[in-house]
Amino acid sequence: MAEMQDVVIIGGGAGGFAAAIRAAQLGGKVTVVESTHYGGNCMNTACIPLTFLLTVAGHVDLARKAARFGIQMDEPKVDMEALHERKDLIVDSLRLGTEQQMVDYGVTLIEGRGKLVARDMVQVDPLPGSSLEQQRIPARNVIVATGSAPAQLPLEGADLPGVFGTEEAIQLREIPGRVAVISSQPWDVELAQYFHAMGSAVTLIHSGDQLLPQADRGCAQRLAKRLHDTGITIQRRADVEGIRQEDDGSLKVLLAGSEREVVVDKLLAARRLSNSAGLGLRQVGIEMEGASVLVDERMATSVPGIYAIGDVTAGAMWSHKANSEGIVAAENAMGLASRMRYDILPHCAFTRPQVAWVGLTEEEAEAQGIEYEVGKVPVAINPYAMILDETAGELKVIACKKYGKILGAHLVAPGAVDLINAVAVAMLAEATIQELMDFIPRHPSIGEALVDAAMDVKKRSLHMPKW
């Protein structure tokens, strides 16, 4: 039998990596069991490659409007093979770096399928074609970090050729003429913009009243308007009844309750579910909610010594969330007392304009009975946004009326995904709206608009029109 480990981590994605490094930093003997690729879904098939594609799309759009900057050039042409070669190089480099970092910290890496056979025992089954034998690893603590897995939508025709998921969409070498996307989640809206920038006619279909349902309503409306203005068709409050294949191979998306239909060449229609099957979780007594593991703010499950992090738990599926949860789980496994702070967890979409938010929306503050004040500034009056020719959007800050505590911020602006980190740090430090107002932003920068929005909370904005 293998040597007793302080922590065995099942899954080497963003959360598993963070947990392994932190446990090793605290002096633990650590083993990571991974069945596919180190770095997980985010690094290999989602966040990293998708953000690269969105960056390419942004460059294409910039080239198309080069004349606005006095630059004359022809319609840009994209070499898809070169594009994907560069994308894969980035992913491969990051994955190798992830593996090497764990090795440098003394973490044992095992390729295989891990599962719990007891509270303190992980069994590793060899992968197909592997020369390794099955082994069992005793563990004082186990962290389940197996992430999520793609799943078909429960729709008639969801298994037809041409219906694909996010991972397949990111790998496409040929851009389809017509694409429909069934979803309102950030990554699907991002893909809708990517395909549109690359020349596809895109229809975005969602069943709710707003895109990005977790976002501030005003932010979602501004993004939807921007998508519409650039030529993306949006079908709101549209439930999909089924998918049919036409004689020419195209796909017909049937919308319930009407005679509306959308005909496309490719259809992005998939979801992700917690990847918990075959791990032996219920057999050792871990409480579940569907496919998701139930945990507390320490990332502890219902079984002492077993933790779970990332997409395998209930809640938002974000890589940075999994990363932070991994640190918390590792610290608790190694005897410290750590807790997650979901109230300062940033959310974002790498759309154009970017959308990012942290903390409470106005509706949530009102539901909690908090008296609040709001400051808002349109991006259009910001000098740097004018220079960039990216003037769509708004920055909103919400603060407690009585104490000035920053309750949340909701940004639709160029650079929003970076700027939201500054607000999250301010909230972590329990800064007040006055302290955010006192901050001196660089000029010119989008950060000036953030400070101006904070000033608008107290109706002291320097740049908003005087009424």
pLDDT of the chain along its 467 residues, tens only? 689 999 999 999 999 999 999 999 999 999 999 999 999 999 999 999 999 999 999 999 999 999 999 999 999 999 999 999 999 999 999 999 999 999 999 999 999 999 999 999 999 999 998 888 999 999 999 999 999 999 999 999 999 999 999 999 999 999 999 999 998 889 999 999 999 999 999 999 999 999 999 999 999 999 999 999 999 999 999 999 999 999 999 999 999 876 789 999 999 998 999 999 999 999 999 999 999 999 999 999 999 999 999 999 998 999 999 999 999 999 999 999 999 999 999 999 999 999 999 999 999 999 999 999 999 999 999 999 999 999 999 999 999 999 999 999 999 999 999 999 999 999 999 999 999 999 999 999 999 999 999 999 999 999 998 76
CATH number, position 247: 3.50.50.60
Tell me: do 90 and 56 sit in the same domain.
yes
- In the three-class reduction of DSSP (H, G, I as helix; E, B as strand; rest coil), residue 407 is classed as strand
Residue 391 to residue 181: CA distance in whole angstroms? 26
- Owner of token pair 């503050």: 365
Q: What crossing angle do the helices spanning 447-457 and 416-428 adopt, rounded to 10°?
A: 50
Tell me: do 143 and 288 sit in the same domain.
yes
In a domain, 463, yes or no: no
Integer angstrom CA distances of residue 250 from 110, 160, 162, 320, 462: 44, 10, 8, 38, 54
Tell me: do 143 and 279 sit in the same domain.
yes
Both ends of the chain: CA-CA distance in Å? 76
* 8 Å CB contact between 379 and 440: no
Tell me: do 170 and 183 sit in the same domain.
yes
In a domain, 300, yes or no: yes
Tell me: do 33 and 141 sit in the same domain.
yes
Burial class (CB within 10 angstroms; exposed 0-12, middle 13-18, buried 19+) of 334? buried
Residue 149 to residue 155: CA distance in whole angstroms? 18
Q: What is the pLDDT of residue 259?
A: 72
In a domain, 54, yes or no: yes
Tell me: do 12 and 46 sit in the same domain.
yes
Tell me: do 138 and 65 sit in the same domain.
yes
In a domain, 467, yes or no: no
Q: What is the pLDDT of residue 154?
A: 93
Tell me: do 57 and 110 sit in the same domain.
yes
Beta-carbon contacts of residue 425 (< 8 Å; ≥ 6 apart)? none
- Joined together, the tokens standing for residue 443 give 């000029």
In a domain, 465, yes or no: no
Q: Which of 216, 250, 270 is the last residue of a domain?
A: 270
Q: Which of 343, 366, 388 is the last residue of a domain?
A: 343
* 8 Å CB contact between 282 and 275: no
Q: What is the maximum span of the chain, computed from C-alpha positions, in angstroms?
A: 76
Catalytic member of 37, 59, 228, 443: 443
Give me the number of domains the chain comprises. 3
Tell me: do 18 and 140 sit in the same domain.
yes
Tell me: do 143 and 177 sit in the same domain.
no
Q: What is the pLDDT of residue 467?
A: 65
In a domain, 107, yes or no: yes
Tell me: do 42 and 104 sit in the same domain.
yes
Q: Which of 270, 285, 310 is the last residue of a domain?
A: 270
Domain that holds residue 80: 5-147+275-343
Phi and psi at residue 205, in whole multiples of 5°?
-115, 125
Tell me: do 22 and 138 sit in the same domain.
yes
Q: What is the pLDDT of residue 1?
A: 67
Overall pTM surpassing 0.85 (yes/no):
yes
- 37 is a catalytic site residue: no
Residue 359 to residue 357: CA distance in whole angstroms? 7
In a domain, 386, yes or no: yes
In a domain, 112, yes or no: yes
